[in-house]
A and B are shown apart, each in its own frame.
Chain A
Amino acid sequence: MGRMRTPVALLLPFLLLAGCASSSTWGWYVVNPMTPAGWTNLKFLMNGMGATILISLIAAAISIGLGLVVALPGLSHRRWLRILNRIYVEFVRSIPLLPMLFWVFYGLPLVFRAMGLNIPIDPFWGAIITLAISDSAFTAEIYRAGIQSIAKGQTEAAQTIGLNYVQTMRHVILPQAIRRILPPLANQFIYIVKMSAFASVIGMQELTRRANELVVTEYRPLEIYSFLILEYLVLVLVISAGVRWLERRMGADERG
């Protein structure tokens, strides 16, 4: 019961708003599933869910791989590798998402063309590349902290039984680090889901873009944007629940 309290509390404002459906200042009819027009609008809005989820998932997957590649030099005993890691992390972290999105979508194809490559970048991949790179700086820091928190003794024990660097990471350090890394990594995934809304400005048909388009035709910004926020809220709550489930399973694994 206790675990249900938070989501219910969070949904409460929306239930209250929905209760005002009959009042004249509210125009909930735009998304009323009981009417054919409302149902059509609702489907139009929710059809952006697939794109939002897909962009976020692919971007997160790339970021999780890229973050590890960026983090490992930061843990090296070689100074120049650590410097390389710092430069990447500080540089990427300091670029706001929207300018980076514009640069990738409008600028990067020109860079490719100058290099004699013809690689078009559509809104879908433009959004994914931007989100993945932007997020990778944070993921890299999460990995670094997680790996550093595993005792030095674990690495030494792995070395004394003859494991090389890759084997030590793969079989000893990462399986332990992942338990500490997972919660902050999940927060990053939530961050990606929210930031994917920026993809709307380069024409990606995701949740926010569709809400914008419907507002233009229906003139009901309050109801439509409220519904939009509700959509993100549900998405994030589902992700949080999934992460908690995963954590519990891994915790059980550890104790076994």
Chain B
Amino acid sequence: MIGVNKWFGDFHVLKDIELTVRAGERVVICGPSGSGKSTVVRCINRLEAHETGLIRVDGIELTDDARSVAAIRSEVGMVFQQFNLFPHLTVLENLMLGPMKARGLSRADAEARARRYLDRVRIPEQADKRPGRLSGGQQQRVAIARSLCMEPKVMLFDEPTSALDPEMISEVLDVMVELAEDGMTMVVVTHEMGFARKVADKMVFMDAGEIVETGPPETFFANPSSERCRTFLGQILHH
């Protein structure tokens, strides 16, 4: 992302965002609520359109052209805070829909792939249930598996554990840590600083639509250079 700006009406939500994510890199974005973290992530796969600046994913520039949007979405997976599973389909069907319809896989191939990723998020036994029957943690793991089924090069996570009961957070984070260990490129919006310390290659702190501070986690946590970041970290680390 180079010099990305975005407005909601008169409200300048993103101000000159510069962010580079290298292949295999794990970037964690944090910052107070309303600072524009979700909007940054949603711009990367065109759920929101940016107004100025450049967004490039794997060499493809994101423009109004539907082909560039489709090409980028096929490389970028996304996990939402609210899971957004399809309630009328079973877990397995949730996972098979994308591969079959967007990728043209046969039913058998799609099912094999779906079961493989369900194994990976450790809930193979829930395949035939509807999402509404699962716990929040299980639903979020299904959502992760659904994204993985599209075999993306980059995974975006927008506060994946914020809607979960505390006892379910770790089961989701464990899956994400494994994913990181397998070398997936990840952009994660989260306040889980334990997770950030463990997997992040780069920390990003946002406030009021700006990237205030970026850096490797060691220096980021040990001595943040900006006052705003220090205050923020002080608040969330003491809770």
> A interface vs B, CB < 8 Å?
151, 153-154, 156-164, 167, 171-172, 175-176, 253-256
Contacts A162-B150, A163-B102 given: A171-B80 contact, CB under 8 Å?
no
A156 and B150 contacting across the interface, CB-CB below 8 Å: no
Q: Which 6 A-B pairs have the closest CB atoms?
A: A162-B102, A161-B98, A157-B84, A153-B84, A160-B78, A167-B101
A161 and B150 contacting across the interface, CB-CB below 8 Å: yes
A162's partner among B47, B70, B80 (CB-CB below 8 A) is B70
Contacts A172-B86, A254-B87, A256-B130 given: A160-B45 contact, CB under 8 Å?
yes
Contacts A162-B102, A163-B97, A171-B101 given: A154-B84 contact, CB under 8 Å?
yes
Residues of A within 8 A of B136 (CB): none
A71-B205 Cα distance, complex, nearest whole Å: 43
A157 and B80 contacting across the interface, CB-CB below 8 Å: yes
A157 and B101 contacting across the interface, CB-CB below 8 Å: no
Interface membership of B191, Cβ < 8 A: no
Residues of A within 8 A of B35 (CB): none
Q: Residue of B at shortest CB range from A168?
A: B101
B84 and A163 contacting across the interface, CB-CB below 8 Å: no
Q: Residue of B at shortest CB range from A256?
A: B130
17 new A-B contacts, CB < 8 A, other than A153-B80, A160-B45, are A154-B86, A156-B84, A159-B47, A160-B76, A161-B150, A162-B73, A162-B74, A163-B97, A163-B101, A167-B101, A171-B97, A171-B101, A176-B88, A254-B87, A254-B88, A254-B130, A255-B132
Q: Separation in Å of the B148 CB from the closest CB of chain A?
A: 11
Secondary structure dominating the interface of A: helix
Residues of A within 8 A of B77 (CB): 160-161
> B interface vs A, CB < 8 Å?
45, 47, 70, 73-74, 76-78, 80, 82, 84-88, 97-98, 101-103, 130, 132, 143, 146-147, 149-150
A3-B130 Cα distance, complex, nearest whole Å: 30
A160 and B87 contacting across the interface, CB-CB below 8 Å: no
Residues of A within 8 A of B47 (CB): 156, 159-160
Residues of B within 8 A of A161 (CB): 77, 97-98, 102, 146-147, 149-150
Residues of B within 8 A of A162 (CB): 70, 73-74, 98, 101-103, 150
Residues of A within 8 A of B101 (CB): 162-163, 167, 171
Q: Separation in Å of the B134 CB from the closest CB of chain A?
A: 13
Q: Separation in Å of the B107 CB from the closest CB of chain A?
A: 14
A215-B206 Cα distance, complex, nearest whole Å: 81
A160 and B147 contacting across the interface, CB-CB below 8 Å: yes
A163's partner among B85, B98, B147 (CB-CB below 8 A) is B98
A153 and B130 contacting across the interface, CB-CB below 8 Å: no
Residues of A within 8 A of B85 (CB): 157
For A156, A157, A159, the residue with the greatest tally of chain B CB atoms inside 10 Å of its CB is A157
Question: Can you list 7 contacts pairing A with B, beta carbon distance less than 8 Å?
Answer: A153-B84, A157-B143, A158-B86, A160-B45, A162-B70, A163-B102, A254-B130
